[in-house]
Each structure stands twice: as structure tokens, then as C-alpha cells.
């Protein structure tokens, strides 16, 4: 594929709800443009963009795929973006490097959550937005119902630029309102016809509204239109381009991703009405960064993949300058210099070697050592840094453990490779509960991560519920003696100490104080007492969870000239702590999560009721957008483990939430007793064995 100047490049994300037909639409676009010689099938597992074995098996897109094609003198970089919310990370990454999003939706009255999510991200990034109405051939297709919904939600800026010919099973073509022609047939076999008599009136009415929208985008066109003159086809297209670019117009196109009807006209509209990198240059510190191939270098890494055979691949959009083979570049985020050895243009699982990626274009670099998603590649002279990507925080967690010793040896490296390619995936080692914790955007996301560990890196893991990192403390003040005496013949062991325990404020941790006077305990044994206390704290006071937030003062004791040693006083310290804690009313603390839930107004009551059922405390509610409310609450972590799945069910996928550990507080007595009883059973079982 030849190099194109920025004005002839279109970078377009194909987005929408899972199952809306994005991947099949891309297949027909590639075939229509001659980029491939056949149309693949999701069911057959032979599409260009869903080529990963996991995608083929699940029959859904799991990762964004770059698919370039050439059409009427333009290069179109299509990026097929997963539609399931679990893989929203790719949507945020891709939004940073395209000028336009085409949201694919089914021809039905209700729009899906994936549509809403894509639209929100497009608005957030100021992207030109276009709607492609798919599945018009379905028995239950409802194009007019969908248009009513879109107008209710988004108003006059949603504008028909095409209407379907035929309804449901009779759907046969696309009436393009720009040139008032009907396009029948599919893919490369399109036939152009005149407007049928039964559509004349509707087409004229819709075209009038389209001209209204086009005229609003340009002052000269508006003046001409208000004076009663008709706009030419070229003027309408220019006006739509300006309106789409500014966000004042959202054009609606129609077709069938299954049959290929409407695909050729969609490609025409991408070239004619969606902006190029020249139309909307990237801004850095308020200044426009012109997409000049000879300008300063600014390349942005928006996606990283890890392959055990090929190595790491970074997908990069060049906003300015040119990225060339054998060039040394500066990763300004990490202040390291990298050598570019392998440049290529990906097309699904295939790739074409390239000598350069020029301003406005997208390509990939293999085997950079220390470059990751969100990094900017520049030169030591230019030193341009583009804003990094803000990814949503994980909302779902599971614990894993290696299935075998061999898996244990490989697990750390495999997880590190997956962390490099997926910024919405997190891994922590929770020392409190002694578990390896994986965090992600949902159950499907983490299921996929676990499958990748096995299929890509040969690591098998066993999943289990993530345990809650409870803590223990005391409510009162108490004094107690810790006395350890053992005589086994010969030299014995003797340690004796008196301590006082008193609670501290939450988050203060543990303080140890020595107030022994008169030499009742030699100074060299005091650290052993503290060590014994700290080790006993790690094993808990009543239920086996680490203890914290109290002060221990050792103030008296006794020793034996021969039998006293550090081990004896360490044991004495542990005995004293357990005795003092029993008197000082040991309690269990549970982590409280600060939770913010954004939901449609009609779901607020159900969401609040559900949070109350989780022992949550409502902190407030605020409107965040028309028809949406943010519910704020603090909720015990123990009740939030499956909240991502439950909220999806309550709100039909439309609710989204964020959570973070807020603080620890005392657990209700009944729940404490349950944990204490469970711990007693475990201890009894261990003693029996």
C-alpha cells in the first residue's frame, strides 16, 4: 500500500454494541474496496479482524484490529473496536487516534448500552460521529422507531443522509439523499437507479432537512440557502463535513453488514464527509500540531500486544513528522531512547513491511524494549509529549493460584506480559489475605485473561473468590501479663512481661512503647518482646486477620539470670498480647468502599434499594447528564464482590460504577461472630490433623 498525505487519510473507529455487526461490516468494506478477495464469517471464524483463537471460539471481538483499505484516492484506516463493556479499554485508546467514529446499531426502537457508551466516548474526545443502521433485513427491523428514539435522545443534529428502500425482508437498497440516487446490489456489484415514485415525497422531505443541517455548517452556504437557492451536491457535502467535524451534525446511513448492501455508499461518505487529520489537527498545550510529514516528530502509542513468539508490538498513530526504519526515537514519558528496527502496516493478523509511517497515518512497531500504551515517541530535539490515556479503573476481581509448581515459576512473567498489553487489567499480591488478585472490567474480561495465560503462555491457574482484607483491633484499654516458663532439664526458658494495650485512631497503625524502669527486664530483651507482639498481630486476635490501630506499652516484668533469652521474651510478648486483647474487647474491622454509580433515572430506586441491601449508606445523589443520576454511597467491600455483574443485571447494562477503598470501620456484631466461628473451625481442623 502506497503512502498517502494526511489530507487523503481517514482514521475511523467502527464501534457499537456487541453483536451489532461491526466485524461483518468491516469484512464487506474490505471486500468492496478490493483489500481482500472474499468475505469472511464470524460463525466460520475466518474474518480478517477477529483472528485470535479466543475470538474465533467466543465469536466476539476481544481486541481492536487495524484494517486499512484504499477507496477513491483515500486511505481509510478502519479500527474494529470490541463492543462488550468488559473491553472498554480499547475504545478509550482508539478514541485518541481517530478523527471519527461510526457507531453501528441495529434497526430497532431501543438503542443498546454499547451505543450509549460509544457515543459518550466520542463526545468526550470531540470526535466526528456517524451512525450506521444495520440489520434492516431482519423480520423485526424498525427503522422509523429507531429514528424516533435517536431524535428524542440527541435532537435535530441526528440527520438522515440515506433512507432504506424496502422494509425487513424486502430491504433491497439505499436511497442516498445527497445525489438522490438508489443504490441496489451489494459490495462490488452495486447498481444505480432512480428514486422510485413511492419514495419521492419522503426523500424530498428528508433531503430538505439534510440541506438545513448542511447550510448551518457554513455561513456562505447559510446565506445562499436562506435566499432560496438550492445547494449543489458539492456544497451539501462540504456543509455536512463542517457540521460533522464540529459535532453539530450526526449523519445516519443505512445498510446490511450481512449482505453488503449500503457498504459502497458508506465508503463514499467516509471519504467525502468525515474529517481527515488535516481538518482536525491534534492540539498540544493549546497549539495545533499540523500533520506535516516533515514537521517535528510526535507518535502516540495507543495499543500494545504481547506475543510469546513475535514479541511486543506497539500500534502507533503519527500526529506529526515521520517515523522511519532505523531511526532513534525518544520515549519522552520514560526518558529512554529506542531504535526503530521493524515498521509495518497491520491488516488483521497479516502485516506489510513499511519504511515509514507519516503524519496522519497509523502503523505498528515491533520489539521496542521499554515502550507501552500511552507513551509518546518523539526526538531529543522536538521533545513533544502528548497527553496519556485515562483508562477506567477495574471493577471486578478474582483470586488465582498456579495449578502446578511449573505454572508457579512461569506465572509472574506471563502476567507481566499481559499487563503490558492491557491497561485495564491489574495484578496485586494481597499480603493481608495471601492471594494473587486479578482485577479487570468484568467477568468476561478476566475469563479472557485467564484463557490467554493458558493459550499464549502455557500457564494454568485455579480461580477462587478474592478474600476480603479484614483487620482486627481493640476497643478498650487493658493490662495483662505474658509469662513463658519451660524447664526441660538443663537450661530452661523464662520470660515475663506486663503490657498495657490501648486503642488508636483508625489508620494510626501500631505503636510500641517501653516504660520499664529499674531493670526488671534487661534492655536487650525489649526488642524481642516487640517482635513477639508483632508476629502475634499478624496472626490476628480473634479471627486470624492482621491486627492494627493500637498501642502497646511494656512497663514491668521479670527475668532469670540463666534461663532468660530472646526467644523466651518473644514468646512472653505474644502471650501478653493475646491476654490483653481478650480483656480489651478485640473486634474485626471491615473495609468500606466509596462507590459512585451512574444510572438512568428510571433505575435509581432499584440501585439505591440494592445498595441498602448490601449494608450500604447513601451519601447523596447528583444529576450528571440528562436522564442520568450519580448515586454516592459507602458500602462494605464484602458485599461488593459481584457488584459489576449485579449492576449490569439491574440496569440492563446501562449502569456504570467506580469504587475505591474509603476507610475501615467496625463490623456489625453478628457478622463478626460468623468470622470468629469460621476461624475456630479452621483451627480445630488443623489441630485434629
SS3 string, 59-91, reads CCCCCCEEEEEEECCEEEEEEECCCCHHHHHHH
* CB-CB contact of 13 with 101 (8 Å): yes
pLDDT in tens, 413-424: 999 989 988 999
pLDDT higher than threshold 70 for residue 572 = yes
Q: Which CATH architecture has domain 283-378?
A: Beta Barrel (2.40)
| Identical fold between 397-464 and 588-670 | yes
The CATH code of domain 6-199+249-280 reads 3.40.50.300
Q: What is the pLDDT of residue 43?
A: 80
Span 249-271, average pLDDT: 95
Which of 9, 60, 20 is closest to 447 using CA atoms? Answer: 60
Question: What length does the chain have?
Answer: 689
Q: What is the pLDDT of residue 51?
A: 79
Parallel, antiparallel, or unpaired: how do β-strands 298-307 and 311-320 relate?
antiparallel
Domain chopping of the chain, boundaries: 6-199+249-280, 283-378, 397-464, 472-584, 588-670
Distance (Å, whole) CA 53 – CA 62:
10
State the chain's maximal CA–CA distance in angstroms.
115
**What residues are paired with 317 via a beta bridge?**
300, 362
When the pLDDT of each residue in the chain is averaged and rounded to a whole number, the result is: 92
Distance (Å, whole) CA 579 – CA 558:
18
| CATH 3.30.70.240, applies to 588-670 | yes
What are φ and ψ of residue 481, in 5° steps? -105, 140
Q: What is the pLDDT of residue 689?
A: 55
* CB-CB contact of 573 with 528 (8 Å): yes
pLDDT higher than threshold 90 for residue 227 = no
Predicted TM-score (pTM) of this structure = 0.88
Q: What is the pLDDT of residue 183?
A: 93
pLDDT higher than threshold 90 for residue 229 = no
Distance (Å, whole) CA 228 – CA 379:
54
Which are the contacts of 686, defined by CB distance < 8 A and separation ≥ 6?
Answer: none
pLDDT in tens, 496-537: 999 999 999 999 999 999 999 988 999 999 999 999 999 999
Dihedral (C-alpha) 340, 342, 346, 351: value to the nearest 10 degrees?
170
Distance (Å, whole) CA 149 – CA 132:
15
The CATH code of domain 472-584 reads 3.30.230.10
* CB-CB contact of 386 with 287 (8 Å): no
CA angle 374/121/438 to nearest 5° reads: 55
Parallel, antiparallel, or unpaired: how do β-strands 586-600 and 550-558 relate?
unpaired
* CB-CB contact of 233 with 118 (8 Å): no
Candidate ranges 230-239, 423-432, 599-608; pick with highest mean pLDDT? 599-608
Q: What is the pLDDT of residue 491?
A: 77
370-391 burial by CB neighbour count: b if 16+ within 10 A, else e? ebbbbbbbbbeebebbbebbeb
Q: How far is CA 548 from the centre of its chain?
A: 34
285: left (phi over 0), alpha (psi -120 to 50) or beta: left
Distance (Å, whole) CA 672 – CA 543:
9
Task: Name the one residue in this structure whose C-alpha cell is 464484602.
Answer: 638
Span 135-158, average pLDDT: 94
Span 434-463, average pLDDT: 94
Distances (CA, A) of 124 to 119, 133, 374, 603: 9, 22, 17, 24
Return the half-sphere exposure (C-beta side, CA atoms, 13 A cut-off) of residue 94.
27
Q: What is the pLDDT of residue 489?
A: 66
Q: How confident is the model at residue 308 (pLDDT cuts 50, 70, 90)?
A: low
Query: Got the DSSP string for 96-164?
Result: TT-SEEEEEEESSSSPPHHHHHHHHHHHHTT-EEEEEEE-TTSTT--HHHHHHHHHHHHGGGEEESEEE
Which are the contacts of 508, defined by CB distance < 8 A and separation ≥ 6?
Answer: 549
pLDDT higher than threshold 90 for residue 314 = yes
Distances (CA, A) of 523 to 526, 556, 565, 569: 5, 12, 12, 11
Distance (Å, whole) CA 574 – CA 571:
5
pLDDT in tens, 325-380: 999 999 999 999 999 999 999 888 788 899 999 999 999 999 899 999 999 999 99
The CATH code of domain 397-464 reads 3.30.70.870
Distance (Å, whole) CA 257 – CA 96:
26
Span 464-473, average pLDDT: 94
Alpha helix positions (H), 160-232: 200-216, 219-226
Element (H, E) at 27: helix 22-32
Q: Coil, helix or strand for 222?
A: helix
* CB-CB contact of 392 with 442 (8 Å): no
Q: Which region among 55-59, 246-250, 466-470, 553-557 has the lowest average model confidence (pLDDT)? A: 55-59
Q: What is the pLDDT of residue 146?
A: 96
Span 663-668, average pLDDT: 95
pLDDT higher than threshold 80 for residue 307 = no
Amino acid at each position: 500500500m502506497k503512502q498517502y498525505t494526511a489530507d487523503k487519510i481517514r482514521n475511523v473507529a467502527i464501534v457499537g454494541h456487541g453483536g451489532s455487526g461491526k466485524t461483518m461490516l468491516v469484512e464487506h468494506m474490505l471486500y468492496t474496496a478490493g483489500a481482500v478477495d472474499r468475505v469472511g464469517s464470524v460463525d466460520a471464524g475466518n474474518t480478517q479482524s477477529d483472528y485470535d483463537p479466543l475470538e474465533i471460539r467466543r465469536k466476539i471481538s476481544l481486541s481492536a484490529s487495524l484494517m486499512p483499505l484504499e477507496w477513491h484516492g483515500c486511505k481509510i484506516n478502519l479500527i474494529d473496536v470490541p463492543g462488550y463493556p468488559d473491553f472498554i479499554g480499547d475504545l478509550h485508546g482508539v478514541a485518541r487516534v481517530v478523527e471519527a467514529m461510526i457507531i453501528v446499531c441495529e434497526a430497532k426502537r431501543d438503542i443498546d448500552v454499547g451505543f450509549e457508551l460509544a457515543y459518550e466516548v466520542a463526545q468526550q474526545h470531540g470526535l466526528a460521529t456517524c451512525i450506521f443502521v444495520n440489520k434492516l433485513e431482519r423480520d423485526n427491523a424498525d427503522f422509523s422507531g429507531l429514528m424516533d428514539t435517536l431524535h428524542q435522545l440527541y435532537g435535530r443534529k441526528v440527520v438522515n443522509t440515506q433512507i432504506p428502500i424496502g422494509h425487513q425482508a424486502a430491504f433491497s437498497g439505499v436511497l442516498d439523499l445527497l445525489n438522490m440516487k438508489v443504490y441496489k446490489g451489494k459490495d462490488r456489484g452495486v447498481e444505480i437507479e432512480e428514486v422510485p415514485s413511492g419514495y419521492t415525497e419522503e426523500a424530498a422531505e428528508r433531503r430538505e432537512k439534510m440541506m438545513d443541517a448542511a447550510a448551518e455548517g457554513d455561513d456562505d452556504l447559510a446565506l445562499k440557502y436562506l435566499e432560496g437557492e438550492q445547494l449543489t451536491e458539492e456544497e451539501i457535502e462540504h456543509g455536512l463535513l463542517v457540521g460533522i467535524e464540529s459535532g453539530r451534525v450526526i449523519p445516519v446511513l443505512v445498510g446490511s453488514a450481512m449482505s453488503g448492501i449500503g457498504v459502497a455508499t458508506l465508503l463514499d461518505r467516509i471519504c467525502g464527509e468525515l474529517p481527515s487529520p488535516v481538518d482536525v489537527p491534534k492540539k498540544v498545550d493549546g497549539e495545533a500540531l499540523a500533520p506535516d510529514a516533515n514537521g517535528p516528530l510526535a507518535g502516540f502509542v495507543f495499543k500494545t500486544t504481547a506475543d510469546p513468539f513475535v514479541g511486543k508490538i506497539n500500534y502507533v498513530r503519527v500526529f506529526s513528522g515521520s517515523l522511519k526504519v532505523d531511526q532513534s526515537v525518544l520515549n519522552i514519558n520514560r526518558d529512554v531512547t529506542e531504535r526503530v528496527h521493524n515498521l509495518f502496516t497491520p491488516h488483521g493478523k497479516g502485516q506489510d513491511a513499511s519504511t515509514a509511517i507519516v503524519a496522519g497515518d497509523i502503523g505498528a512497531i515491533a520489539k521496542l524494549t521499554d515502550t507501552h500504551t500511552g507513551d509518546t515517541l518523539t526526538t531529543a530535539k522536538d521533545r513533544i509529549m502528548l497527553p496519556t490515556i485515562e483508562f477506567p479503573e477495574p471493577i471486578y476481581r478474582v483470586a488465582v493460584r498456579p495449578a502446578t509448581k511449573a505454572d508457579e515459576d512461569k506465572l509472574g512473567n506471563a502476567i507481566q506480559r499481559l499487563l503490558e498489553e492491557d491497561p485495564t487489567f491489574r495484578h496485586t499480591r494481597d499480603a493481608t489475605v495471601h492471594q494473587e488478585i486479578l482485577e479487570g472490567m468484568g467477568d468476561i474480561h478476566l475469563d479472557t485473561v485467564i484463557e490467554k495465560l493458558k493459550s499464549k503462555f502455557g500457564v494454568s491457574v485455579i480461580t477462587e473468590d478474592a478474600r476480603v482484607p479484614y483487620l482486627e483491633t481493640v476497643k478498650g484499654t487493658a493490662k495483662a501479663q505474658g509469662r513463658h516458663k519451660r524447664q526441660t532439664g538443663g537450661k530452661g526458658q523464662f520470660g515475663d512481661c506486663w503490657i498495657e494495650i490501648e486503642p488508636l485512631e483508625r489508620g494510626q497503625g501500631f505503636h510500641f512503647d517501653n516504660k520499664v524502669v529499674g531493670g526488671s527486664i534487661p534492655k536487650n530483651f525489649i526488642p524481642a518482646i516487640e517482635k513477639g507482639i508483632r508476629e502475634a498481630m499478624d496472626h490476628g486476635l480473634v479471627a486470624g486477620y492482621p491486627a492494627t490501630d493500637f498501642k502497646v506499652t511494656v512497663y514491668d516484668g521479670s527475668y532469670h539470670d540463666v534461663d532468660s533469652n530472646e526467644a523466651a521474651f518473644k514468646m512472653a510478648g505474644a502471650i501478653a498480647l493475646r491476654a490483653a486483647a481478650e480483656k480489651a474487647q478485640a473486634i474485626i474491622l471491615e473495609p468500606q468502599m466509596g462507590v459512585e454509580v451512574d444510572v438512568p433515572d428510571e433505575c435509581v430506586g432499584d440501585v439505591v434499594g440494592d445498595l441498602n441491601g448490601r449494608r450500604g449508606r447513601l451519601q447523596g445523589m447528583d444529576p450528571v447528564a440528562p436522564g442520568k443520576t450519580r448515586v454516592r454511597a459507602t458500602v462494605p467491600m464484602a458485599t461488593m464482590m459481584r457488584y459489576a455483574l449485579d449492576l449490569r443485571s439491574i440496569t440492563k447494562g446501562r449502569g456504570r460504577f467506580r469504587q475505591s477503598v474509603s476507610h475501615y470501620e467496625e463490623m456489625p456484631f453478628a457478622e463478626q461472630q460468623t468470622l470468629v466461628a469460621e476461624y475456630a473451625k479452621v483451627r480445630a481442623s488443623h489441630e485434629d490433623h
